[in-house]
Structures are given as structure tokens and as C-alpha cells.
Structure 1
Amino acid sequence: MTGELAGKVAVVTGGASGLGAGLVRRFAAEGAKVVVGDIDTEAGAALARELGDSVHFLAADVADVAQVTGLVNTAVERFGGLHVMVNNAGVSGRMHRSFLDDDLADFDQVMHINVRAVMAGTRDAARHMAEHGGGSIINLASIGGIQAGGGVMTYRASKAAVIQFTKSAAIELAHWEIRVNAIAPGNIRTAIVRKSATGEDLRRLEEFEARIREQMRNDRPLKREGTVDDVAEAALYLATDRSRYVTGTVLPVDGGTVAGKVIARKPKSG
């Protein structure tokens, strides 16, 4: 590690597990002080113990805007500032056999967590950054917000909203040297979908995942599976001065999936 974030303070929402925990570990390894917000108090506290005094866990439900504000305030009060805000917390919503079966019962929850919390985190971080020389805000989207497809329609709509909001916020906040970018992971194994399924739904989900991952492997230009570390590396780039002239971008971390499907090559003759 090169200490690229030495002297920096970051907030990572949804940082107790999955992609968020990967980002927290990488940021801490690069010298950052990190405030982790999550509803999973057990995993969050364990992560903070593992990483030591540079990481502080605060139980926070980003569906409550006031708790998002609390994360920003905690970073400033505990570590003396805020340089990087990662709005990572998200939910997938319920899986349905068909959109025709979707009662949209989870619409408000998905939008509150996936969109409103991102807007609140961006706003609250920017209020501090605007008075302290700028900073970097990173919003976690998904290739589902870029590339149309069936299933989890509310989730796809929420991530598309994050992308459009990110670009719009980047334009407005550039005046204060605040950079706002999004990462769009794809084909990264995490538990976000599984958390919304139990029992028979979970069994069907596992079968569905197996089929869809095989299709993803066939469609993806890069054949190796993406990892949490791949996303953390992209976040590190956007968090550091290496990306000081980069704002309003959406960076897919997806093995080339959104670039287009693989063209089948004929075997060489003779």
C-alpha cells in the first residue's frame, strides 16, 4: 500500500459487509480515517475492531435522512474533517417471476435507500466540503442503471436515478472543487439480492443466479469474475488526487459487459 489517503477522512455508508466493507478495508489500508455506517451493528462493530482506531462504526439506517447527516457530523467531530463520501448503502428489492406480478410494495423503501439517501449524503458531505477546499463524492450505482433488462425493475430505476443525479450534482458542485462520480459494478458476487429472499424464494433465487451468472460469463468480454477488490480499486482512484480532473463520470466495473456482447469467433481452419 502507498498511503494515498493518508490524512484523509472518509464516510462509507453500508460499509459493514460486501462492497462497502471492501472499500473500508482498502481506504484504511491507504491511511484514511473512516466512519462506517450500517444497520448491521454486529458486522460493523467487528469490522471496526478488526481495523483498529482508524475506523469508527456508527449504527445508521440511511432510510432516515437525519442518520445520514449524523454520519457526516460524526466524521467531522471525531476525525476533524471529511474529504471522501461514499454513498454505498443499497437494497435490491423483492424478486418477482414477472413484472406483471410486481405489486410495487417495496418501491418506497428501495427509492428511499437507493436514491434519497444518496442525495442526502451528497448534500451533507458537500456542505462541509464547500467550506473546506472541496472533496470527492462517490455514489454506487450499477450496470442495471445503465443497461436495460428484465427483473428488479424498481432497483434498475433507482440506479438509473443515481447516475443522473451524480452527473447533475457534479455540474453544480464543481464550483466548490467538489468532484462527484459514480461506480457501476456488474457481475460482482455480493449478498445484496439474497438478503431479500428466504425459504423457497431463496432456493429459486439460487437457481436463477446460477443461470444468470452462466449467461453473464458468456456475454462478458473479460472472462474472469469481478471481485470486491476490483470495485475498491476503482473507488480508491476516484477518492485520490489521481482523479483530480475527473467529475460527472460513471465508471462501470463489469468486465466490459455494458460495452457490448462478445462476438463469436470462428475457429481457425487448417
Structure 2
Amino acid sequence: MSLLKDHVVLVTGGGSGLGLGLARHCLAEGAEVVIFEISADKVRALREEFGPDVLIVQGDVTSLADLRACREAITERYGRLDALIGAQGIFDGNVPILEMPEERLDALFEEVMRVNVKGYLLSARVFGELLRASQGALVLTTSTAAYAADGGGAVYSASKGAIRSLVGQLAFEFAPLVRVNAVAPAGIANSQLSGPRSLGLDAQKQSDIPQDAFLSMFRSLSLLQELPTPEDHGPLYAFLASRHNRIMTGQTVVADQGLLNRAVLNRG
């Protein structure tokens, strides 16, 4: 497979879960892959898995200095960047707003919006010129929570709705040289999306939910019954990131296994 042959692709938040699955798929599609990851433990694991074939850069997507250092490393090694795939994100624990301590709401909003939205804004600014030079692509990750209630709590849903709107604005500003799109997944097997530190949930991940319970809930809502893996999303992201995509910009592709296909959730 060679959808991304002769492409240099950066995956932010690529240390686990969706981001790692996407990085693996891009590598299989022939790309030169760069992974940007904040966790030192995950960076060590990435280097063990990929060795020198993949450029691993440790940093925080909310840090301008870290993103600039990543840009310098990419320029030094490859001299260009053809696509940026944004996969970082944190959850809000799906805590109803009336059950949330009032004094923690401000910190929760700042934490979730900083990673989920500001991280993409800074990435677009820092890597935008490289993407314009290569006539490349920016592919972000939103969620079905941007389209329907109960995909997360109020703050997470607000952040994912903001990303959906951001895609349209960036596509407008970066046209005609850079294609900007997003993918909105629903449930993902072995999701490593963690909770917020502001609610004391940073040690919890979505994958901690018992698999049988999560799968039962997923199948009760979705038309397609197989819970997709991170790698299953790879072909969609890879196409949007590639030069083969000559027709789409400013779009969010809803990858929901039919979750939103019907207004009534009860088949009876």
C-alpha cells in the first residue's frame, strides 16, 4: 500500500489510542512519520516500537515552544511537512453539569479547551507555513459529541463542536493551498482518552470501562456492530491527509458506524 508514499506526516497525540493507530497506518501506507507526544513513558515505548524509522518528539500541544521545537526537528530531518493529523484530546468524564462542583468548572473548562481546541489552533499556526509550502493537508479529530447529546459532558461536547467550526474557518483561511478536514469518530476499541485532572479523573481512561458493558451499549445504538479499532480509522485519515484528496476541504467526516442514522434509538 502506498497512499502516503513520499509524504511526511506529523501525528500529534500519537503515543496511544487513536493517534498511535493512525501513526502505524500512515507508516504502513509509505509515509515518513513524525509523532508528537507529551508522555515520557509513551515516548520511550514509541522509540522501542519504531526505532529510528519514526521521528519521535516529546512535547505539549499547548506549548508554543514545544511545537516550534517539533517544527525545527521536522525541517532539519525532512525539509518539509506534507500533512498534520491531530489526534490529541482529553475527556470530561461525562459528568452532568449540575453534578459538577461549581468551583471546579472553571478549571475543567480551561483544561479541556486548552488541549482539545487550543492545541489545534497552535498547531495550525506553527505548521501552517510548512503545509502551505507543500500544498499539504491538515486533518483534525472531533467527535460525534459535536452532533448529538450524550457523547460526553457539556465541556467536552463544547470543545468538539468548536473543533468542527474551526475546520471550516481554517479551510477558508488556508485555501487554496492547504486542505483542512476532520473526522468525527464515535466509539473506539481500547480508547486511551483520559479524564481531566481538574476533576481528579486523569488516571482514568475510557478503556477502563468493562469491555462487555461498553460493547453492549455500543451495539444497542449503532447499526454496524463491530467496535472499530484505532487502526480501522486509518484509511479515512490517510486519504484526507494525502495528495489523492483533491476534492474535500472544510468538511467533517462522521465515522459513527450508523450511530446518528436514526432519530429514535429504540428499535421497538
Q: Do the structures match in fold with TM over 0.5?
A: yes
CA shift digits 1:7-26 (9 cap, x unpaired): 21111111111111111111
Q: CA 1:261 to 1:188, structure 2 compared with 1: closer, same or farther past 3 Å?
A: farther
Q: Which residue of 1 aligns with 2:3?
A: 4
The answer as to whether partners of 2:12 and 2:36 remain within 8 angstroms in 1 is yes
Q: Given residue 53 of structure 1, which amino acid in structure 2 is its aligned partner?
A: P
CA deviations on 1:193-250 (whole Å, 9 max, x unpaired) are 4686379x88xx737x865653331121111111111211211111122322111110
Partner of 2:182: 182
Q: Secondary structure at the match of 2:156?
A: helix
Shift of 1:134: 1.1
Structure-to-structure mapping, 1:41-120, within 5 angstroms: 41-96=40-95, 98-102=96-100, 103-104=104-105, 105-120=107-122
Say if 1:185 and 1:114 are closer, same or farther in 2 by CA, change over 3 A.
Answer: same
Give, as a single letter, the amino acid of the residue that structure 2 aligns with 1:206: I
Aligned to 1:206: 209
1:33 corresponds to which letter in structure 2?
E
Distance 2:27 2:152 in 1: 36
1:40 maps to which residue?
A: 39
Given that 2:10 and 2:85 are in contact with CA atoms closer than 8 Å, whether structure 1 keeps it comes out as yes
Q: Is the 8 A contact 1:3 1:31 kept in 2?
A: yes
Return the alpha-carbon distance in structure 2 between the equivalents of residues 263 and 12 of structure 1. 35
Aligned to 2:242: 240
**1:106 is paired with a residue of what secondary structure?**
helix
Higher relative contact order (CA 8 A, sep 6+): 2
Which is greater in Rg? 1
Could you say what secondary structure the match of 1:184 adopts? strand
Letter in 1 for 2:6: G
SS of the equivalent of 1:259 reads coil
Gaps of 5+ in 2: none
Measured in 2, the distance between the counterparts of 1:198 and 1:210 equals 23
Seen in structure 2, the aligned counterparts of structure 1 residues 210 and 111 have a Cα distance that, compared at 3 Å, is farther
Residues of 2 paired with 1:159 and 1:142: CA distance? 6
Matched with 2:28 is 29
Matched, 1:135 2:136: yes
State the Cα distance separating 1:121 from its structure 2 match.
Answer: 0.9
- Summarize the Cα distance change of 1:198–1:172 in structure 2 as closer, same or farther, 3 Å threshold: closer
Q: Call closer, same or farther: CA 1:263–1:99 in 2, change over 3 Å.
A: closer
- Paired residues, number: 259
| Local SS of the residue matching 2:244 | helix
Say whether residues 1:149 and 2:174 are aligned partners. no
Of all paired residues, the percent bearing the same amino acid is: 29
- Distance in 1, matches of 2:45 and 2:214, equals 33
